[in-house]
Amino acid sequence: MSNRIVSKTTLAAALVAVAASISFAPDAYAITYSTSGTSELFSLGDQMGTASDYDQLMVNGVSGALTTGQITLNTLSFTAGVNAYVPATYTYSFNETMTVSNGGGTQTLTVPFNISIDTADTISILGGSSLAFTVGNSIWDVVVNALTLGPNPGGTMTANLTATVTDPPGVTPIPGTLVLFASGIGLIGLIGWWKKQRDASAGAIA
């Protein structure tokens, strides 16, 4: 008799533990990202024949939650100086790494941009660069958005470089009603097991 009581108590405790783990388990699908930024770029479109502090572009890394829609990839800081003799346009690019959690890994992102040199200088980020991260059974596509920084007649301008994220994993959080349902099923099973044990004991006594 005591063995049956211990078994029932153990089974009940196990059911409570399972229900609690479902209710309070951390969200395994919370996905985060970070970007590295890159070294400061100097002398962009320099026409003076020597290295210059102007024009310069700072690309700072950021981190945050990876969600659908628009995210910030970098904060940009563009400092321009009066160094143009003849208007011209130059093409550059910068490389940085992007890391995604939950098995997404790290990849290198190349972002091309133009700088138009004139009395007021303008940097144009060419959108369209993309990365694809596989997380679980889903693929996250990250596409860089176009950005214009300027015209800058001299001094420093700042802006956020953004990207559009699509195709996230279709994860539906476990509702509380499902936890209650699972607990109820376990309780029904426990009652059925107890009845079988009771009938078996009665048969043995008879």
Coil, helix or strand at residue 23: helix
Report the alpha-carbon distance of residue 83 to residue 91 in Å, rounded.
17
Of 64, 25, 57, whose CA–CA distance to 41 is shortest?
57
Burial (CB < 10 A; 0-12, 13-18, 19+), residue 92, is middle
Cβ(77)–Cβ(55) below 8 Å = no
pTM, entire model: 0.67
Q: What is the mean pLDDT of each run of 10 residues along the chain (206 residues)?
A: 51 50 50 94 68 80 94 95 73 95 94 88 94 89 96 92 83 51 68 72 61
List of residues 6+ apart from 157 with CB closer than 8 A: 77, 78, 79, 80, 149, 150
Amino acid sitting at position 8: K
Tell me the per-residue pLDDT of 130-188, one tens digit each, with 9 for 90 and over: 999 998 888 999 999 999 999 998 889 999 999 999 986 554 444 555 556 666 676 77
Cβ(84)–Cβ(151) below 8 Å = no
CA dihedral (189, 195, 200, 204) in degrees, to 10, reads 160
Cβ(187)–Cβ(14) below 8 Å = no
Instruction: Enumerate the domain spans of the chain.
Output: 2-26+173-205, 32-166
Q: What is the pLDDT of residue 138?
A: 87
Cβ(25)–Cβ(18) below 8 Å = no
Report the alpha-carbon distance of residue 57 to residue 80 in Å, rounded.
9
**Lookup: tokens for 16:** 């409570």
Q: What is the pLDDT of residue 26?
A: 41
Amino acid sitting at position 12: A
